[in-house]
Amino acid sequence: MIPIRFHRTLRIMLAVAVCVALAVAVTEWIMKDRRHGEGLLGEVLVSGDGRTITALNSRAPCQQDPPLLVASESRDSVALVLKESDIDLRPQCDTVDEQITTKLQSPLGTRRLVDGSNGWTIAPLDQKRLANPQYLPPGYSPTTDVQWSDSSQHELLSPFFMRDRNSGPVWTRFYHRTSKKASLSITQIAGKLTVSAAGTPESIHGWIGRPTPDSNNTVTSTNGTYTFIVSTTDRDLHEAELLRIAKQLTP
């Protein structure tokens, strides 16, 4: 005959096991956040032929698979939705900003581009309007995937990544030295933004451009149609180099 004390001990052990299993299940549920059909975070670019749409996405690669940019086309509009996988917050790694694309069956044309998650109108920048840098500092080359270990660099190099949804078209391109993280960006914004009156004025394509006051890491200029922001986190790139890049931006 099994002692009563043994039965009591067994019940306690089973209760503890159930509690532990429940705690583990709850933890996993909290740490995994299902997100599908998310809204777009920032800038959008439309290719010269109007068939390719490119958007920016930010994620931690160790926590989430690459997303899909899905377009639903109608006669009057094109709705974009970012299809994301589950997120597992347990692994830790640097955040990456990446470009993701989708192909349209027909050119965008005059159709309205819409964020499918909330119905907001998206103002894309036309790739044909992008000004191209004719000069880059030695060792620098374009990159589409940008890794961030410091959030302050993210804010500096991508100043309009989380911009106002009602603002005009904008696109940021990133550059990095060989085997190093991105440390140079060129942002192009539709419209003439007010350039600060502080700082030493410089003539850029016949318009006034100025370095950011009290800083040597940003040069802002406008040509009356677009505003350009050249930024860097590279301490070896000084104001003269940024001005040279800005002065050699051509359509």
CATH of the domain at 176: 3.30.200
Rounded to whole angstroms, the Cα distance separating 91 from 158 reads: 25
One domain, residues 152 and 216: yes
What is the per-residue pLDDT across 174-220, written as a single tens digit (0 to 9) for each?
888 876 666 888 989 888 776 665 667 777 877 767 777 556 688 88
Does residue 5 fall inside a structural domain? no
Q: CB 140: neighbour CB atoms within 10 A?
A: 22
Mean pLDDT for 55-68 is 83
One domain, residues 150 and 108: no
Specify the number of domains making up the chain.
Answer: 2
One domain, residues 197 and 135: yes
Kindly report the pTM of this predicted structure: 0.73
Does residue 222 fall inside a structural domain? yes
One domain, residues 148 and 44: no
One domain, residues 113 and 38: yes
pLDDT at 33 over 70: no
Rounded to whole angstroms, the Cα distance separating 156 from 9 reads: 61
Does residue 39 fall inside a structural domain? yes
Domain edge (last residue) among 90, 125, 160:
125
One domain, residues 101 and 115: yes
| Environment class of 194 (CB within 10 Å of its CB; exposed 0-12, middle 13-18, buried 19+) | exposed
pLDDT at 224 over 70: yes
Q: CB 62: neighbour CB atoms within 10 A?
A: 12
What residue ranges in 34-124 does DSSP mark as E strands? 44-46, 52-59, 68-73, 77-83, 87-88, 95-103, 112-115, 121-122
Full domain range(s) for residue 75: 34-125
Does residue 76 fall inside a structural domain? yes
Does residue 28 fall inside a structural domain? no
Does residue 11 fall inside a structural domain? no
- pLDDT score at 3: 58
CB 120, CB 165: distance < 8 Å: yes
One domain, residues 41 and 97: yes
Does residue 171 fall inside a structural domain? yes
Rounded to whole angstroms, the Cα distance separating 177 from 245 reads: 15
Does residue 161 fall inside a structural domain? yes
- Give the 3-state secondary structure of 152-182: HHHHHHCCCCCCCCCCCCEEEEEEEECCCCE
